[in-house]
Structures are given as C-alpha cells and as structure tokens.
C-alpha cells in the first residue's frame, strides 16, 4: 500500500538494518582494528594508519535503499542513511571540538546529472547532529567511470589522482583531525585517493567514515601510500 507520507524506509526494512560501527583497515578491508585513540596496534599487516569507521554491511535491504537513493531520485533517504554513520570517537573531548567533516565529492558533471552530492548531504546531516563543521576541502578534477560494477583493480585505476585539495579550504583543515565522509566503502580506493589529496593540507590525522561497508572479497592492497589515520596529536 506504499509508505506513509514522509517515510522513505518501511519499518520492516529499517528493523533489518543493524546500527553497528566497525573499524576496518582501508588497505585490506579487514576488521577488528581498534581506533588509534584506544592505543591499539591496528591491522596486523598495515598498522593503524589507514582506518575506516563504517556502518553495517552493504547487504539487503540496505543495498536496495542505497541504489534508490543514488540512482532513482530517493534523495529524501539521506537523513536515514546519515543516521547509520557511526559516531566518531571522543565526544566531549578536545579532539571532538577540533574535528572537521570533509566529504569525498562527486565531479560537477556527475553531481548535475544526479541532482545532489551524496557525500556532501551525509556530511551536512551528520555535522548538524554532532555539532561538527563541514569543510569542502576537496574537489574532484576528473569525472571517473561509475564504480558500482567494476572490480578492485579497475576501481583503483578509476580514481587514481581524481581528487585535488581546495586551496582556499586548506587553513580550515591544517593541524585538525579530519573525518573523511563517503557513502559506501568497497575496496577503500576512493577514500585512499581522497585522503592523499587531503594530506597536502597537513591535517593532524584523517579517519574515513562511511555508513556502510562491503563489496569485493579478497581485494588486493591498494597501490596508494597515503596515511588515512595517524595517531592523533591531541
């Protein structure tokens, strides 16, 4: 009979999507990696320098909700999806007061076609809820092919060098902990490339943040050498 007015996700689907936070290593997309602020050793292979804090797995019905959001004009789902973003560590601490949210942006041509930039919507919604400012510190300088139906190696090549630092925003990022926001992390390639561009602004550290994770199993290590999360200097 359809959803009630103002609802974008039915109760049955909502109940099937867990509200979980998982820390993953972006280089191998393996879990069980505590955050650097907890004094952890991190990933056995890659340490704690490339970390992702992600929401639930990209599985039914979440995958269909995301597809409707990104490709079928269901823009109103952004608030529901943003609520799946795990809260970053340190609420009430000096680190929290220094946080900035930086979305991993779409290319302007892709944004015009879609009608919105999903990462920016998510960052703005989360920022309003957490009291953390959003800084548009990145720009996408290449309109890369869609990632949804490509394997791990093509994904890495698609996004290689795709991001650049917005020089005017650099002072708002310098020496501050950055939460790099995107929607779904599959191989980690997009977030690693975005972080590589952000490093030019010398943030104190970077933690990637997505509302879901999942995708290609056993993806090889990305070639990028950027550090996505360093031990906080706070």
What is the spatial distance between Cα 157 and Cα 208, in angstroms, rounded to a whole number? 20
Burial of 234 (0-12, 13-18, 19+ CB in 10 A): middle
Structure tokens belonging to residue 96? 């929290």
pLDDT at position 76: 83
Mean pLDDT of the chain: 83
What is the spatial distance between Cα 92 and Cα 19, in angstroms, rounded to a whole number? 22
Give pLDDT tens digits along the chain (234 positions): 455 555 789 999 999 999 999 999 998 898 867 775 555 557 888 878 789 999 999 999 999 999 888 887 677 899 999 999 999 999 999 889 999 999 999 988 888 888 889 999 999 999 999 999 999 999 998 776 555 555 556 667 778 888 999 989 999 999 999 999 999 999 999 999 999 999 999 999 999 999 999 855 443 333 443 445 543 332
Contact 50, 205 (CB under 8 A): no
How does DSSP assign the chain, residue by residue? --PPTT-SS-HHHHHHS----EEEETTTTB-----GGGT---BTTTBTSSEEEE-SBS-TTHHHHHHHHHHSS-GGGHHHHHTTSPPPS-TTSHHHHH-EEEE-PPPHHHHHHHSS-HHHHHHHHHHHHHT--B---EEE-S-PPPSTT--HHHHHHHHTT-EEE-GGGHHHHTTSEEEEEEEEESSSHHHHHHHHHHGGG--SEEEEEEEEE--STTPPPPS----S------
What is the spatial distance between Cα 173 and Cα 103, in angstroms, rounded to a whole number? 12
Per-residue pLDDT reduced to its tens digit, 123-166: 999 999 999 999 999 999 877 655 555 555 666 777 888 899 99
């Amino acid at each position: 009979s359809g959803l009630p007015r103002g609802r974008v996700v039915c109760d049955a689907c909502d109940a099937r999507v867990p509200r979980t936070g998982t820390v993953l290593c972006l280089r191998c997309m393996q879990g069980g990696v505590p955050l650097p602020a907890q004094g952890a050793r991190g990933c056995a292979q890659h340490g704690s320098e490339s970390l992702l804090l992600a929401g639930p797995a990209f599985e039914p019905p979440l995958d269909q909700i995301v597809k409707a959001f990104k490709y079928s004009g269901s823009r109103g789902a952004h608030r529901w999806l943003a609520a799946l973003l795990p809260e970053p560590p340190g609420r009430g601490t000096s680190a929290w007061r220094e946080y900035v949210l930086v979305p991993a942006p779409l290319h302007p041509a892709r944004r015009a076609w879609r009608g919105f930039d999903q990462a920016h919507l998510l960052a703005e919604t989360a920022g309003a809820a957490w009291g953390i400012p959003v800084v548009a510190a990145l720009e996408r300088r290449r309109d890369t092919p869609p990632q949804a139906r490509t394997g791990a190696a093509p994904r890495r090549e698609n996004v290689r060098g795709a991001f650049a630092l917005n020089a005017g925003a650099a002072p708002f990022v310098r020496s501050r902990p950055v939460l790099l926001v995107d929607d779904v992390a599959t191989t980690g390639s997009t977030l690693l490339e975005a972080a590589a561009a952000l490093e030019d602004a010398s943030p104190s550290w970077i933690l990637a943040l997505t509302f879901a994770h999942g995708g290609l199993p056993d993806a090889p290590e990305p070639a990028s050498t950027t550090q996505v999360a360093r031990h906080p200097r706070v």
